[in-house]
Amino acid sequence: MTEWPVRPNRTGPYFTVQLGSCRAKKERDQLRVVAGRSARRSTIRWVVQQIQYLLNWSLTDVPNLCGIAGFTHKNSKLTRSVIEKATGCLHHRGPDQQGHFVSDAVSLGAVRLKILDLSGGDQPIQTPDGDRTIVFNGEIYNYRELRKELEELGHRFQSQSDTEVVLHAWQEWDMGCFPRFRGMFAVALWQQSEKRLVLARDRMGIKPLYISRLGQDLVFGSELKALFAHPGVERVLNTTALNYYLALNYVPFPYTLVEGIEKLEPGGWLEWRDGVIQTGAHWRLYFDPNPEMTLDSGKEELDGLLRSAVKDHMISDVPLGIWLSGGLDSSAITHYAAEASAKKLQTFSVSFHGRTFDESPYFRQVAAHYGTEHHEFDLAPGENLASAVQQMAHYSDEPSADAGALPVWFLSKMCRKHVTVALSGEGADELFGGYTTYVADRYARRLRYVPAFMKRLALRAAMKLPVSDEKISFEYKLKRFLAGSLLAPTEAHMFWNGACSKAERAAVLGLENPTSPASLWPELPDVGSVNKFLYLDQLLYLPEDILYKCDRMSMAHSLEIRPPFLDPRIVDFAASVPENLKVRGGTLKYLLRELMRDKLPKSVLRRKKEGFDIPAHLWFRESLRPLLQDTVTAKRAREAGLQWDAIDRLMLDHQERRVNAGYQLWGLLTLFLWMKEWNIQTNRVQVGLLAKSLSS
């Protein structure tokens, strides 16, 4: 609920206009004006005028759940059908409206989910003189303040959408507009008079944007499939990126698994001006811990920031819900959302009944505590898992080696039946220190004083422990920790969150010495032993794994996910928090946990972190085994240029319980499904044959 205090005159009574998320005319008719005491008729008339104004605002404030695509054609002239095909590939991101702009030098396209059946807000949008055009994906939460500032500078608007505000902000402040935006976005802006195209992406990489340079031309899109619609984009597997994918479970920017296609970095911009390309950043992650911050002052500031951010993220004219796991982060979001809303909240969860990692007791307790309308889905081996995994290959763009994508798929599917927008707790772990790897980093520092031969002996002994079918068992963590303790600090941190070891990658790729992904970031800022890995995870793991997974799985079901923890004000605050307020002893997210101590049920604060994942080790021995065997075959391994003997040995060792390789096998399974779905080739001869077959 949003509240505006209204005072019609100096001596008159205070009124509060209460507005909920209006779903339909019936609900809007139920708006109430709560008066502190009786008022004169003129005062009531004044209040009614305010309600009419606010209703008009509500009806025209249209969120932009979208996808964008486009390309320049300086040296290649293409028919309009190409941009229509590229935009059509993104139909799931915005099934209600599709628009195009085509000039002599550029083609732009956008799809949009209409929250209400309105004539305004359709994309692309142009300035009145027709010189500037925008296609936009995302949400700008402070656009009303920016609009007011622009109106004072003489700008006039035709709609109430944030997209039009972004266009005018660019017209007024050029590249200086991007740091002003508080929200999530990927945007393309065209200036006809200058033959100038500008692309930009939000600070944390919540919204995706891919690019490909074809000589003097540029192709871009919200998803890889939009770029594949362009006849000049080849589908060749990037073997350098494949090595990083097998190591990390994701592909770090600027790489993708397709040669010649890159990701625009979070906080980055690209300018194409008549064939010449420049790149830069409108924001850089910077840690500056404040040694004067105390627990009390940190709690007070974070409390205010979360209250404001959640309230901003709840602005919506459509049904809105919350993803609730029963953990600290999503429960904190639920708390502040309950404070901001007079309506009953809707919460959504996935359970694993009968499993030790089932979180249902916790999320049910939180749902009951806040009186939410709760929905849950039990993800069991009896569900049609194989079908879902195969569908994910289409929507994933690049394969997601994070097996947590599967429960997110089912969560999104259930959620979309009830709401169009949902809040999530993504980002809190990377901002405030929520992963056990940060504790492992600390223990490993001490263990590095132990001679390497002794650690190898310990690892050899641990490898004799029987493997467990639990999702992440003690024996799995012990073996992983000891193996990582033999590596350099940055490489160890990446290994603990990753999949294949260097030896496994060497065998699968047929390489003697595959490059470590840690070599991409040889120097991390000297901001403390915990903060430097938080910095690394915010640069890589958060956008390339967590946010990527969340965006693709939710967008596959036309669902918008908003992460309030990634509000720029909270990100900046977290960068100023001393690391002893993030990880203290063995306590993770210490500051956030202490803030919520008198707000959440004690069981939520005391419970260990589970992670939103599946029991991959067990399911590859049971329900997912047929799909694995049918998909990961010798023929497909050879087509991908991989060593079948190494893959076959890994699969056999897993099935015979010599190792737990569920996460490595998940990465290979999704890789092979993705290559098949999108006809990804491993050399340019195959690409030529594919192009010939497609043309015929």
pLDDT digits (tens, 9 = 90+) for 244-255: 999 999 999 999
pLDDT tens digits for range 514-532: 999 999 988 899 999 999 9
- 103 and 212 assigned to the same domain: yes
For residues 417 and 488, membership in a common domain is answered with: no
Report residue 165 as tokens: 């505000």
In this prediction, residue 65 carries a pLDDT of 61
Question: For position 32, what pLDDT does the model report?
Answer: 34
* 222 and 83 co-located in one domain: yes
129 and 142, same structural domain?
yes
Lowest mean pLDDT among 217-221, 353-357, 661-665, 671-675: 353-357
Indicate whether 406 and 466 sit together in one domain.
no
- 25 has pLDDT over 90: no
How many structural domains compose the chain? 5
Strands 373-378 and 346-351 come out as: parallel
51 located within any domain: yes
Residue 421 has pLDDT above 70, yes or no: yes
263 vs 682: which has the higher pLDDT: 263
> What whole-number distance in Å separates Cα of residue 333 and Cα of residue 428?
10
308 and 414 share one domain: yes
Neighbour order of strands in the sheet with 346-351: 373-378, 346-351, 320-323, 421-423, 560-562
Instruction: Report pTM.
Output: 0.88
Question: Which three-class secondary structure state does DSSP give residue 251?
Answer: coil
Average pLDDT over residues 487-500: 93
Please identify, among 606, 626, 644, the residue that sits at the C-terminal boundary of a domain. Answer: 606
Residue 438 to residues 107, 432, 484, 529, 531: CA-CA distances in angstroms?
46, 11, 13, 9, 9
User: b/e for 649-671, b at 16 or more Cβ within 10 A?
Assistant: ebbeebeeeebbbbbbbbbbbbb
Is residue 387 included in any domain, yes or no?
no
* Euclidean distance between CA atoms 582 and 559, whole angstroms: 32
pLDDT (0 to 100) of residue 119: 53
Token pair, residue 235, equals: 């589908």
The answer to whether residue 392 is domain-embedded is: no
The rounded Cα 13 to chain-centroid distance in angstroms is 46
What is the model's pLDDT at position 94?
A: 84
Owning domain of residue 217: 65-281
- Output b/e per residue, 501-534; b: 16+ Cβ within 10 A: bbebbbbbbeeeebebbbeeeeebeebbebbbbb
- Per the prediction, the chain carries an average pLDDT of 87
Same domain for 507 and 518: yes
Name the pLDDT band for 13 (thresholds 50, 70, 90): very low
Residue-wise pLDDT for 535-550, tens only, equals 999 999 999 999 999 9
Report pLDDT digits (tens) over 686-695: 444 444 444 4
Strand partners, 279: 270
Tell me the two tokens of residue 237: 């597997």
Indicate if 485 and 370 belong to the same structural domain: no
Question: CA 637 to CA 161: how far, in whole Å?
Answer: 49
Longest CA–CA separation in the chain, Å: 87
Q: Label the pairing between strands 560-562 and 106-113.
A: unpaired
Lowest-confidence pick of 491-500, 585-594, 687-696: 687-696
Residue 290 lies in a domain: no
Give me the CATH number covering residue 82.
3.60.20.10
Q: Would you say 282 and 201 are in contact if contact means Cβ atoms under 8 Å apart? A: no
Task: Compute the C-alpha angle 500/505/509, nearest 5°.
Answer: 145
The answer on 500 and 357 residing in a single domain is: no
Tell me: the pLDDT tens digits for 623-650? 999 999 999 999 999 988 999 999 999 9
Distance from C-alpha of 323 to C-alpha of 612, rounded to nearest angstrom: 11
Q: Phi then psi for 325, rounded to 5 degrees?
A: -95, -15
- The two tokens of residue 31 are 């708006």
Cβ atoms < 10 Å from Cβ of 79:
10
Least confident of 304-318, 647-661, 677-691: 677-691
Q: What's the rounded Cα separation, in Å, for the pair 373 and 419?
A: 12
Report the length, in residues, of the chain.
696
Phi/psi at 529 (5° precision): -70, -30
- The helix/strand/coil state of 190 is strand
- Among the candidates 60, 77, 105, a domain finishes at 60
Q: What is the predicted pLDDT for the residue at 83? A: 96
pLDDT over 90 (residue 171): yes
Question: What gap in Å lies between CA 399 and CA 585, rounded to an integer?
Answer: 36
Tell whether 561 and 628 lie within a shared domain.
no
Kindly state whether residue 389 falls inside one of the protein's structural domains: no
**What is the CB-side half-sphere exposure of residue 383 using CA atoms within 13 A?**
17
Instruction: Give the number of other CB atoms < 10 A from CB of residue 121.
Output: 23
Q: Any idea what the CATH number is for the domain that residue 589 is in?
A: 3.40.50.620
pLDDT tens figures, 406-420: 999 999 999 999 999
Which residue from 265, 258, 230 is spatially nearest to 671, judged by alpha carbons? Answer: 258
Q: Are 167 and 188 in contact (CB under 8 A)?
A: no
Question: Is 595 part of a structural domain of the chain?
Answer: yes
Please give the C-alpha separations between residue 76 and each of 192, 224, 233, 386, in angstroms, as whole numbers. Answer: 18, 20, 13, 42
- 364: in domain: yes
Buried b / exposed e over 219-238, threshold 16 CB at 10 Å, is bbbbbbbbbbbbebbbbbbb
Percent of the chain scoring above 90 in pLDDT = 76
Whether residue 182 sits in one domain with residue 83 = yes
Mean pLDDT along residues 135-158: 95
Of residues 116 and 255, more confidently modeled: 255
In the structure encoding, which two tokens stand for residue 98, read together? 């599709």
Helices (H), 37-103: 41-60, 80-88
Q: Using the 3D structure, point to which of 229, 256, 281 is the last residue of a domain.
A: 281
Query: Is there a domain that residue 10 lies in?
Result: yes
Per the CB < 8 A criterion, the answer to whether 366 and 324 are in contact is: yes
Q: Is the pLDDT of residue 105 over 60?
A: yes
Asked, as a colleague might, if the bond just before 543 is cis with ω within 30 of 0, I would say no
- Together in a domain, 313 and 215: no
- Rounded to 10 deg, the angle between the 405-416 and 385-395 helix axes is 90
Contact 655, 661 (CB under 8 A): no
Which conformational region is residue 155 in: left (phi greater than 0), alpha (psi within -120 to 50 degrees), or beta? beta
Which tokens is 598 given? 């008198």
What span, in angstroms and rounded, lies between the C-alpha atoms of 98 and 637?
A: 39
Whether the per-residue pLDDT at 45 is higher than 90: the answer is no
pLDDT tens string 343-378: 999 999 999 988 888 899 999 999 999 999 999 999
Structure tokens at 668: 């290979």
